Structure 1
Amino acid sequence: MRAWSTSTTTLLYGSGVVQADMRDPEAVYGHPELTSRIDPDRPVGLLMLALLHFVTDDERPYELVRRHLEHLAPGSYLVISHAESDTSPDRADYATDEYRASSADLRVRNQEEIKRFFDDVSPVPPGVVHLSDWRPRDHQPYYTSQQVSGLAGVARWDGPRG
C-alpha cells in the first residue's frame, strides 16, 4: 500500500507532488502526474490529517470525503484527524480565534459530526477516539483528551455499499 496525503493545495505521493485543490477530487485523481504513478486498481492510504476542519459546511465536507473514496480501490484506508469541540470547548474557541486572521476558515466539529466522516467505511480498532487514545505507547508521554482536543480514526474502504 502506498500512502499519500492531501491538503487544500498540494497532493503528496511517493516521490512527486501534484498541485491540486482537495475540494476537487476529480481534478486530483485525474491529474496526469498522479495517474502516471499510482495504479487506481491498487489500495492506497488517504491521509486527511488536520485538514477537514478547514472545510466549511457549505463546502459539503461529508460528500467531499465520499467523492475521494469513490476514486480509491477497495482495500484502501482512510485516516482522519479533526479538531473537536466537546471535550474542551474553551480550547475549540481559542483555535477558532487563532485562525480568524488566516486565509482559511476553521470549522471545529463535535464528536458526532466527526464520526459521520466514517459512515461509509469500516473503522479499525480502537475506532474514532481522542488523539491521545489512538495507540498510546508506554514509553511515550501520555496526553489527556483535555490537552489534545481532537479525534482520529483509521478505516478501511471496501467500495460502495450496495
Structure 2
Amino acid sequence: MSAQEESADTREPSSQVGAGAPNIARMYDYWLGGKDNFAADRQSAEEIVKISDGKVLRGVRLNRAFLGRAVRAAAETGVRQFLDLGSGLPTQENVHEVAGPGARVVYVDYDPVVASHAHAILAKSASVGFVQADLRKPAEILGHSVVRELIDFSEPVAFMFVSVLHFVDDADDPHGIVARFRDAVVPGSHLILSHLSRDGFPQKMAQTEQVYQGASARLGARTRTEILGFFDGFELAEPGLVGPTEWRPGDGPPSTEKFAGLVGMGVKL
C-alpha cells in the first residue's frame, strides 16, 4: 500500500453504511446525477427534493460550482496546496482537476464508501492523496503521513469544509475543529467553506433534518452568525458570506434566487 493509500481511521463511521440505509455521500452523488447510489439513498434524496421544491438539485450544483471558483481564486493568489476535509465521493470538477498542474491535494473523508472510490480513482497520482479519517480529529489528520508527504505547512494551504460542517454536531465543537486547522497553517492560507443556514427557511430545514435522522450522518443547519464564527482569524474575501449565486458569479446578470446555503472564503491574517 502506498503512502497515498494509507488510512488513519479504518473504523466505520456508522452501522448504517450499507445499501439498506441512506448514505449522505451517495445522496449527494444522486443529486449531482451520479450512479454510485442505492434505492435507500434515492428515496431519502427525493424526499428532500420535495421538501425543497426542487431547490436542492440546483443548490448542490451551485455549491460544487462555488468550490471550483474558490479553488481557482486561491490558486490565482499562488496557493498550490489544498486539504479537502469531508470531500465526499469523487465527481466532476474535483479540487486537483481545478487547481491545475503542480498543485498538491489531499482529500479526507471517514466514509468507507468514499474511501473505496477515492483509492481507485486517485491511486495513480503522485501529487494527490486520500486519507480515511474523521475530521473531528484534526491532530490525526495533520500528523498523517500522506498529509505530511504532500503538504508543506511552512507555505500557504487552502483547506476546505464544503457542505460538511453541518454534519458535525455542536457537541463535537465544530468551531474548535476549524480553529485547529487554522492554527496549523501560515498567514496567507485560505479557508473555503459552505454551510446550510436555517435563517431563510426554518420550517423546511427542520423537515430536512428529520430526513437525515436515519442517514449515515445527521444534519444540523446553523444561523448566519454561527457560520460567520468559522472565519474567526480570517479576513473574508469579497463578496463576504453570501448565497452561492452571489459569490463571484462572473459574467451575466445577477441572480436573486435564494438558497439555504451560505458560502465564503477567508484568508488567514
Q: Same fold (TM over 0.5)?
A: yes
C-alpha distance in 2, partners of 1:27/1:143? 42
Per the alignment, in what secondary structure is the counterpart of residue 155 of structure 1? strand
Q: How far 1:71 moved relative to its partner?
A: 1.3
The aligned runs of 1:7-156 (5 Å cut-off) are 7=86, 8-9=109-110, 14-139=127-252, 142=255, 144-145=257-258, 148-156=259-267
The answer to whether the 8 A contact 2:246-2:254 is kept is no
Does 2:268 correspond to 1:157? yes
1:3 alignment counterpart: 82
Q: Which has a greater percent of helix?
A: 2
CA RMSD of superposed structures (Å): 2.2
Unmatched runs of 5 consecutive residues or more in structure 1? none
Please identify runs of 4+ aligned residues in structure 1 that moved more than 3 A: 10-14, 137-143
Larger radius of gyration: 2
Aligned partners of 2:166 and 2:220 also within 8 Å: yes
SS of 1:130's partner is: coil
Q: How many residues in Structure 1 have an aligned counterpart in Structure 2?
A: 156
Instruction: Give the number of the structure whose residues are more often strand, by fraction.
Output: 1
Amino-acid identity (%)? 32
Native 8 Å contact 1:82 1:114 kept in 2: yes
Looking at structure 1, the residues matched to 253 and 164 of structure 2 have their Cα atoms a distance apart, in angstroms, of 25
2:234/2:266 contact within 8 Å kept: yes
Gaps of 5+ in 2: 1-78, 87-108
Offset, 1:141: 8.7
TM-score by length of 1: 0.87
TM-score, with length taken from structure 2? 0.54
